[in-house]
Amino acid sequence: MLNDLANPLAIVAHDAGAANHLIAWIQAAGAPGPALRPCLAGPALALWQRAGLGPTLALEEALDGAAALLSGTGWASDLEHTARRLARQRGLRSVAVIDHWTNYPSRFERAGEVVLPDEIWVADAEAAALARAAFGAVPVRQQPNLYLAAQVAAVHAAEVRSREGGTRVLYVLEPIRDAWGSLAEPGEFAALDFFVSRLPALGLGARDPIRLRPHPSDPPGKYDAWLARHSRLDVALDAHAGLAEALAWADTVAGCQTYAMVVALAARRRVVSTVPPWAPACVLPQPGIVHLSVSTPHTAVERHASTTQVSS
């Protein structure tokens, strides 16, 4: 993995997905490991600091002393794209980590400028197949998914076995960038409303606790108004410090197509995709995920979504 790359190695990431893999690989490298020149921002920086991996650098400084670049491929920032462009200008080998199964070409394009890396790393066979189909000329290497293995182990170590009946639901949130047609609100809220409308189909009732876990990129207060509108339910924000503890609390995990659902499935939770039937299908390729839209008539759900709010 990291020891296969020339060092000092610049590590550049903004979004949480790739950062989780990068941190797991760095921790596995052990001492002395490769010499790192990290530049992180946003959710990736928070994860880096939580892992106690030391101070970070400005982008130019990280690249100035580097022999190669390992970057994420997030959508919420231009940081990683800029790093790949600068690495190309400096003649540095560039490796990019794809951590999901969506929007592969657009990860490497900003304002019409396409900057591909010299190699792409993924962490599962499905992502490898998608990447090879999308980037035929770029080598793709599948690396061990150490982040997933560590998360599953942490879930099992923290499992909550005492129950007083009922089901505990963790809803893992994520920003939805696709338009999903002409919606009055972002897709993540449409999916939440669809999920609430289908609680009986999942064997859930108003008294079963539901906890919403915001995405690392969500701003504070984003779901306050939605929670207020649904106060008849036992629904609140998740208060667990880490994802593993939140998954350990739950026995059902719902969401659209976030990576946290993959972790939940590997940890033997019931996992439900709440992508509604009028939206593009959930892209998660893992068998075993329950797709809530499959058994729901398209037109009936559209009528419900456009006319109904669940409120107290």
Per-residue pLDDT tens digits for 231-270 = 999 999 999 988 999 999 999 999 999 999 999 999 999 9
Specify the CATH number for the domain of residue 166.
Answer: 3.40.50
Q: Is the sign of the CA dihedral 204, 158, 14, 95 positive or negative?
A: negative
Is residue 74 in a domain?
A: yes
On whether both 209 and 122 belong to a single domain, the answer is no
Residue partners of 41: CB distance under 8 A and separation at least 6: 14, 77, 79
Residue ranges in the chain modelled with pLDDT below 50: 297-312
Residue partners of 291: CB distance under 8 A and separation at least 6: 272, 273, 275, 281, 282
Q: Is the preceding omega at residue 285 within 30 degrees of 0, hence cis?
A: no
Instruction: List the one residue out of 64, 56, 27, 53 whose CA is nearest residue 40.
Output: 56
Is residue 312 in a domain?
A: no
> What is the predicted pLDDT for the residue at 302?
38
Vertex 144 angle, CA 87 and 28, to 5°: 80
**pTM, entire model:** 0.82
Q: Could you tell me the residue range of the domain that residue 281 belongs to? A: 151-307
Angstrom distance (rounded) from CA 266 to CA 264:
5
On whether both 205 and 277 belong to a single domain, the answer is yes
Angstrom distance (rounded) from CA 182 to CA 87:
40
> What is the predicted pLDDT for the residue at 4?
85
On whether both 136 and 80 belong to a single domain, the answer is yes
On whether both 7 and 130 belong to a single domain, the answer is yes
Burial of 76 (0-12, 13-18, 19+ CB in 10 A): middle
Question: What SS3 class is residue 134?
Answer: helix
On whether both 170 and 281 belong to a single domain, the answer is yes
> What is the predicted pLDDT for the residue at 166?
66
> What is the predicted pLDDT for the residue at 176?
85
pLDDT tens-place string over residues 145-158: 999 999 999 999 99
DSSP state of 280: P
> What is the predicted pLDDT for the residue at 164?
55
Number of C-beta neighbours around residue 195 at 10 A: 23
Bridge partners for 71 per DSSP:
12, 96
Write out the two tokens for 2. Answer: 């990291």
